[in-house]
Structure 1
């Protein structure tokens, strides 16, 4: 494989013993056809300058920050609006936070000058000079984010504008961006000679089946091409010289980079779990929409973590970059779209990688808490606006960004590294064998889960196993007295306690099976044990605390109005917990949609439909369901985030029991005409009864999906059980 020639670069002062932690706000402004998708509008930072202070309060002193061409001069280069940027850069300066200024982030440039046009580099450089003249104190620049990745997505795969799907499109976009970076830094340094280039790029590697090794070898050379151009490595001996010429790039364009070398001052390497790829020629194993090719072979390109291959990992790939370029390194994007503890594990392992590299003598500067405010729609590679959100240091689905467990981890790493949560020391899902059972050894700090509900036992056991969370589940019968409870705390040393109890009631039509009651006395013992052992508590309540007469969905601040014994019991439990443990988290749910339950209301309903028997389901009683797997996931995330007080977690919207039955019957494929007729009869039967609704909503955050999504997920997960009868 080609190895870059020796390259002399002034070495900076020695790095700190531990890497710094930088921040970064996802700010992509990518173009799809003639539409621009703007992350700053989606995450709300457009109108919240105070976000910057929240990030700074974690101890972060450097932040990747947008000064984007498309936002400042979107329609005419002579019409530039700097007001938003002026205010924010001055704010950063005032609070002592150092910005790494980005000028183009997965963008193609404004409509009058896109990056597939030959005049792009010069116009981009003029904009860069305008930035430097306006903010001469700025010294760190990332003119164009991930130029090679952007060229692949826009020029080779057709995801983004100009939606090219050929080598010529890829090479033109890459060359124009790299030339734009060189010219931009030349202009910037005329204004600020101390300006440094922090050049970001995805840190990837490709593996393959034997038949596709030639393509993997090519990809593994191409991944360095952007850096090679900037460093002046691409001459006629470079393995991609002829490829570039064959793709329409002239020798003169390549000579430009040899005559105007612009090596980065810091290599900003963005390493994701999806950065390592695997090419498989056995396309029959995969859905047809995954199949692509190179004109010679058809194949699929999937994440290596899901393939039968040993991954290199971030440390090895960073060492490879260090050995190739001998330039200081930083990981400029660290993010994992997953459950909260997995996000923490991914970040903590990146931190540990930085420590190991420093110990080996690598000039490693920082890891970056990328997407500090989270990101939207990256599950579609920003090709569709579906509202899919992945939280970061903060979750912006509240009225004000809410700190997540990741923000607490960052603050701990920057202050007291010995205080990091125990869950970060467990392997991530990408490191666990799918067949390995989760150890329940008392040497691991578990969750202690108290429940009298078989459904909750199954749900927590399943999801904790899935998330790599050690747990110990106890039924209410096991809590006999305080001494036994204290012994459990001493033995297991839990990091958290969960209380999930249910009482029998017809209100929820037995969607969730119930066991024996967990008495208020037991709850008081548990609360006292949590108090004295400084262990946080998550408890579940439900919509029984309301009588359904409000006429609108109930939110967390509404006064309780229980109309049944179960509701009275729930209110008493809530009060007992929150009066004695103010930092406890109490989650109220709607009727639980349980995909694991063996015999329930839905099963009985299906039997009635199948036998064409008449039966009635209330149409005047309305509610918000809580899809059980989603509920458990969101509750655990909130618990890890140190949320407290009362939270409502139900799927968005409301539905009557008859409407719910109709929706499930449609999902099951029952005759639509018959189901519609049955539903019409229910509306007539219950028309004279006073409507009641215990539907829930939240003023704190909208975390759950809507009812249609919940019903579809429920049916997908449980249809095999119902249809097998």
Structure 2
């Protein structure tokens, strides 16, 4: 039998697929712990930092305190570093730092930010997480946007090395839980309460983007928002559920100047948004490179049964399908900004399922650029959405509250080892002209 071309090549040249100094056909598969190269996918965790008030403003649910971060902040930052992560969603305690107009307390923030920089961690700074300082009252206060703009500008000026921000976390959830569900802050139960909180939080976010961009014109805004869906379990479709499935887009509609449909516009106008306010939101997007963050917990997806009772519907659609709807609406780069499950034994499986959702959406060409397990440690009372002070430990962290690793920490480390150096988007190396070797061999 005569030699084939491959036999000849191998006899003369050796391994024909070895590539050259630029990577060639051999390239790399994207494995290895994450680096800080800008072309890498962004793996992250977060420090749970919620601080809404309950009981008509008498009680502050400060998760940084309840979960021990004020005491263990140095250890917490080192846990992030030791796990192999580079990115950290970190919430500065706005309610403790902004003491009044033009007055700020930087003591705690300065210590943490200096250590984060020393450890070469990349913070995604979360500036408002479900609550405001006592002197600002709540989200019904129309002065909130301007005061928050001033605070955001001060943060950006004080830490000019920070590029990534989430100005206002989960605006939709903030407004719904405070103004419509009656659980936090103003504890209202009305459409007007919801729309008022929504427009104030969205305006605060937009003005904060402007303030940040004055100091960091290249700022990257990772807009974390809850990916939600209600399934109507009735044979006769209920219009109020259909409306809620459209209202879930409202915060991003206002931020990204995406005109909602007529029914939603009427809802806004009927519940306290003026025509002038609506036109202000629709004038255009705020500055900064905008990344759409989609948070997903199984409880975000619900089935409303015929009798009105509710059951959790995790994975009927899942993060992939729900986020795909958001992506088709806004066409923004995507960051899976939060996920967890309260069962520590099931957490590794949930982590892998979420990661498969990310890979599936990337395989369809959607630019998913980051993933977050939230949070670093267990949380307190999130099973009641912080509305009841029971002291229940929610075993959802990479580490427990004694800072011992949970099984999901090892599972996350495995994902980092196998996928930590994949490109930020499929074929991303094509779009970043550098002197680095071409590396990607397998599309992930």
* TM bucket normalised to smaller: 0.7 to 0.9
Counterpart residue number, 2:8: none
Q: How many angstroms apart in 2 are the aligned matches of 1:239 and 1:98?
A: 41
Counterpart residue number, 2:49: 27
Q: Is the contact made by 1:109 and 1:115 (CA closer than 8 Å) also made in structure 2?
A: no
Q: How many angstroms apart in 2 are the aligned matches of 1:395 and 1:124?
A: 33
Q: How many angstroms apart in 1 are the aligned matches of 2:336 and 2:378?
A: 17
- Shift in Å, 1:259: 1.9
Counterpart residue number, 1:322: 327
- Shift in Å, 1:109: 4.2
Counterpart residue number, 1:62: 87
Higher relative contact order (Cα pairs below 8 Å, separated by 6+ residues) = 2
Q: Is the contact made by 1:151 and 1:171 (CA closer than 8 Å) also made in structure 2?
A: yes
Counterpart residue number, 2:273: 249
**1:119-138 matched pairs, under 5 angstroms:** 119-138=143-162
**1:567-586 matched pairs, under 5 angstroms:** none
- Shift in Å, 1:159: 0.6
Counterpart residue number, 1:197: 221
- Shift in Å, 1:81: 1.2
Q: Deviations over 1:680-714 (max 9, x none)?
A: xxxxxxxxxxxxxxxxxxxxxxxxxxxxxxxxxxx
Q: Is the contact made by 1:15 and 1:364 (CA closer than 8 Å) also made in structure 2?
A: no
**1:410-421 matched pairs, under 5 angstroms:** 410-416=412-418
Match of 1:349 among 346, 353, 356: 353
Counterpart residue number, 2:290: 265
- Shift in Å, 1:415: 1.1
Match of 1:280 among 300, 305, 310: 305
Q: Is the contact made by 1:14 and 1:363 (CA closer than 8 Å) also made in structure 2?
A: no
Match of 1:213 among 232, 235, 238: 238
Q: Deviations over 1:560-619 (max 9, x none)?
A: xxxxxxxxxxxxxxxxxxxxxxxxxxxxxxxxxxxxxxxxxxxxxxxxxxxxxxxxxxxx
Q: Is the contact made by 1:26 and 1:375 (CA closer than 8 Å) also made in structure 2?
A: yes
- Shift in Å, 1:211: 3.6
* Aligned partner of residue 163 in structure 1, secondary structure: coil
- Shift in Å, 1:77: 3.3
Q: How many angstroms apart in 1 are the aligned matches of 2:39 and 2:306?
A: 44
- Shift in Å, 1:278: 1.7
**1:353-372 matched pairs, under 5 angstroms:** 353-372=357-376
Q: Is the contact made by 2:344 and 2:407 (CA closer than 8 Å) also made in structure 1?
A: no
* CA 1:15–1:213: 2 relative to 1, 3 Å: farther
Q: Deviations over 1:269-326 (max 9, x none)?
A: 11010111122242xxxxxxxxxxxxxxxx3343225xxxx81122111222221111
Q: How many angstroms apart in 2 are the aligned matches of 1:100 and 1:185?
A: 14
* CA 1:120–1:22: 2 relative to 1, 3 Å: same
- Shift in Å, 1:47: 1.6
Q: Is the contact made by 2:47 and 2:375 (CA closer than 8 Å) also made in structure 1?
A: yes
Q: How many angstroms apart in 2 are the aligned matches of 1:131 and 1:110?
A: 19
**1:491-570 matched pairs, under 5 angstroms:** none
Does 1:381 find its partner at 2:385? yes
Q: Is the contact made by 2:344 and 2:408 (CA closer than 8 Å) also made in structure 1?
A: no
Q: How many angstroms apart in 2 are the aligned matches of 1:377 and 1:241?
A: 35
- Shift in Å, 1:260: 4.0
Q: Deviations over 1:86-109 (max 9, x none)?
A: 111111111111001011111144
Q: Is the contact made by 1:15 and 1:365 (CA closer than 8 Å) also made in structure 2?
A: no
* CA 1:112–1:315: 2 relative to 1, 3 Å: closer
Counterpart residue number, 2:113: 89
Q: Is the contact made by 2:96 and 2:133 (CA closer than 8 Å) also made in structure 1?
A: no
Q: How many angstroms apart in 1 are the aligned matches of 2:102 and 2:418?
A: 50
Q: How many angstroms apart in 1 are the aligned matches of 2:262 and 2:244?
A: 14
* Aligned partner of residue 246 in structure 2, secondary structure: helix
Q: How many angstroms apart in 2 are the aligned matches of 1:108 and 1:40?
A: 15
Q: Is the contact made by 1:266 and 1:330 (CA closer than 8 Å) also made in structure 2?
A: yes
* Aligned partner of residue 327 in structure 2, secondary structure: helix
In the superposition, the TM-score normalised over structure 1's length comes to 0.50
**1:584-663 matched pairs, under 5 angstroms:** none
- Shift in Å, 1:371: 1.4
Counterpart residue number, 1:38: 62
Q: Is the contact made by 1:279 and 1:302 (CA closer than 8 Å) also made in structure 2?
A: yes
Counterpart residue number, 2:311: 302
Q: How many angstroms apart in 1 are the aligned matches of 2:211 and 2:144?
A: 15
Does 1:164 find its partner at 2:199? no
Counterpart residue number, 1:672: none
Q: How many angstroms apart in 2 are the aligned matches of 1:269 and 1:238?
A: 25
* Aligned partner of residue 126 in structure 2, secondary structure: strand
Q: Is the contact made by 1:315 and 1:353 (CA closer than 8 Å) also made in structure 2?
A: yes
Q: How many angstroms apart in 2 are the aligned matches of 1:157 and 1:318?
A: 24
* Aligned partner of residue 104 in structure 1, secondary structure: coil
Task: Give the superposed CA RMSD.
Answer: 2.0
Q: How many angstroms apart in 2 are the aligned matches of 1:80 and 1:224?
A: 34
Counterpart residue number, 1:559: none
Structure number with larger C-alpha Rg:
1
* Aligned partner of residue 165 in structure 2, secondary structure: strand
Match of 2:208 among 184, 206, 219: 184
- Shift in Å, 1:113: 4.6
Unaligned segments of structure 2, at least 5 residues: 1-36, 420-444
How many residue pairs align between the two structures? Answer: 378
* Aligned partner of residue 215 in structure 1, secondary structure: helix
Unaligned segments of structure 1, at least 5 residues: 1-12, 283-298, 418-725
Q: How many angstroms apart in 1 are the aligned matches of 2:240 and 2:320?
A: 24
* Aligned partner of residue 201 in structure 1, secondary structure: strand
- Shift in Å, 1:15: 6.4
